[in-house]
Amino acid sequence: MKKILFLDQSGKPGGAELCLIDIAKPYRDRALVGLFADGSFRNLLQQNQIPTRVFSTQPISVHKASDLVQGIKSFQQIAPLINQVIRTAREYDLIYANTQKALVVGALASFFSRRPLVYHLHDILSQEHFSQTNLRIAVTLANRLASLVIANSQASKTAFIQAGGRQDIIEVVYNGFEAKNYQTHESEIRKLRQELELENKFVIGHFSRLAPWKGQHILITALAQCPPQVTAILVGDALFGEQDYVKQLHQQVAELGLENRVKFLGFRSDIPQLMAACNLVAHTSTSAEPFGRVIVEAMLCGRPVVAAKAGGAIELVEHGINGFLVTPTQPQELAKVITTCLQETQTTATIASNARISASQRFDVATINQQIAKLLDCKIKTSYVSTNQPIP
């Protein structure tokens, strides 16, 4: 019986955290999710009856672009947290780090508690997103201490190897989804469109935290080039303090005179219903998306999706078959696809229907969880063999 200590640095539910809920669920009678910050993610875990403990309520000041000096300073700050995690890890068979800071803490805990470490890589480890120091730390710790790295896409795996990561420890496992959670009744869709005053509109949904690289501004620029009945809903909040960007988006909307055609809905928990209320879902990341949960979710909702052609999105979408791909940061190209979807409803509906069928098979959560269980089983056994401990 495997007991797993999952670690995640965030109190807020980003894509990596939502994925962790699905992974931790099958282990909930013998697992603990340790968080390094409190927030609404803890509530979501608890709603799913997953045991949760907040190890530290102090924000960790190191971030993706931090240099070595900042890193060393923050190390002193997180020493008590590391202590708590090491003590807790001794009660578990495996440590599963779900984020970068969780990898740092998990690696130390793995070393001192002699428990195997698995790192779930939800990022593209490139200099576009991370400082050189952070990249080096992540790759070195993973190479030296992780028995297994699970990459959320081929794109994340490739970037890991290019950054110096070991090929022999990394496996690609896509995010899993429960298809039945993405079915919405027609009456519910009508009610929602009415509430949001979207009747008779061609609605494009953008579902993502508000952050410059998620490219909401690209969609707004494209919208100005689309026919007037095309309206956008921006679903998501600035989860990591991107308030300047939020201001910028509102300004852009005002400058383009789009106040009646763009709605900011903030963070929502009814994503499947909102997606079902859309005519098209747009993904507009300006740099490579590691996976792109929203793309698969749109497919499962039976809604056509247009995605920025980079990173994991290319593994999910085949242009003209199960969705549309456009060059990142090219609003004109995006506007063209939007207009085509508006005009060619039959072809677009067929594409969306193909996508729903293939996505429900390809990303079935039960199958994905089996893949992960197999990998973890194997890692726990080999690790106990190498440390000469009896297998529990």
Binding site for ligand UDP (CB under 6 A): 14-16, 18, 207-209, 235-236, 267-268, 271, 291-294, 297
| 204 conformational bin, left if phi > 0, alpha if psi -120 to 50, beta if neither | beta
Pick between residue 293 and residue 303 the one whose CB is nearest to ligand UDP: 293
Pick between residue 158 and residue 383 the one whose CB is nearest to ligand UDP: 158
Least gap, CB of 256 to ligand UDP (angstroms): 23
Question: Nearest 5°: phi and psi at 146?
Answer: -85, 135
Pick between residue 18 and residue 169 the one whose CB is nearest to ligand UDP: 18
Cα–Cα distance measured from residue 15 to residue 98, given in angstroms and rounded to the nearest whole number: 11
Least gap, CB of 162 to ligand UDP (angstroms): 20
Cα–Cα distance measured from residue 143 to residue 170, given in angstroms and rounded to the nearest whole number: 10
The answer to whether 331 and 312 have CB atoms below 8 angstroms apart is no
Least gap, CB of 316 to ligand UDP (angstroms): 10
Least gap, CB of 291 to ligand UDP (angstroms): 5
47: how many CB neighbours lie within 10 A of its CB?
10
Pick between residue 94 and residue 125 the one whose CB is nearest to ligand UDP: 125
Pick between residue 209 and residue 261 the one whose CB is nearest to ligand UDP: 209
Least gap, CB of 18 to ligand UDP (angstroms): 5
**Taking the alpha carbons of 207, 210, 211, 213 in that order, is the dihedral positive or negative?**
positive
282: how many CB neighbours lie within 10 A of its CB?
30
Residue nearest to ligand UDP (CB): 15
Pick between residue 101 and residue 379 the one whose CB is nearest to ligand UDP: 101
Antiparallel, parallel or unpaired: β 262-266 and 280-282: unpaired
Least gap, CB of 188 to ligand UDP (angstroms): 17
Alpha helices, DSSP H only, in 90-214? 100-113, 132-145, 154-162, 186-195
The answer to whether 105 and 141 have CB atoms below 8 angstroms apart is no
DSSP for 33-92, please give it: EEESS-SHHHHHHHHTT--EEE---SPP---TT--HHHHHHHHHHHHHHHHHHHHHHTTS
Pick between residue 32 and residue 281 the one whose CB is nearest to ligand UDP: 281
Cα–Cα distance measured from residue 184 to residue 370, given in angstroms and rounded to the nearest whole number: 27
367: how many CB neighbours lie within 10 A of its CB?
12
Least gap, CB of 16 to ligand UDP (angstroms): 6
Least gap, CB of 164 to ligand UDP (angstroms): 24
Pick between residue 153 and residue 231 the one whose CB is nearest to ligand UDP: 153
DSSP for 246-259, please give it: HHHHHHHHHHTT-T
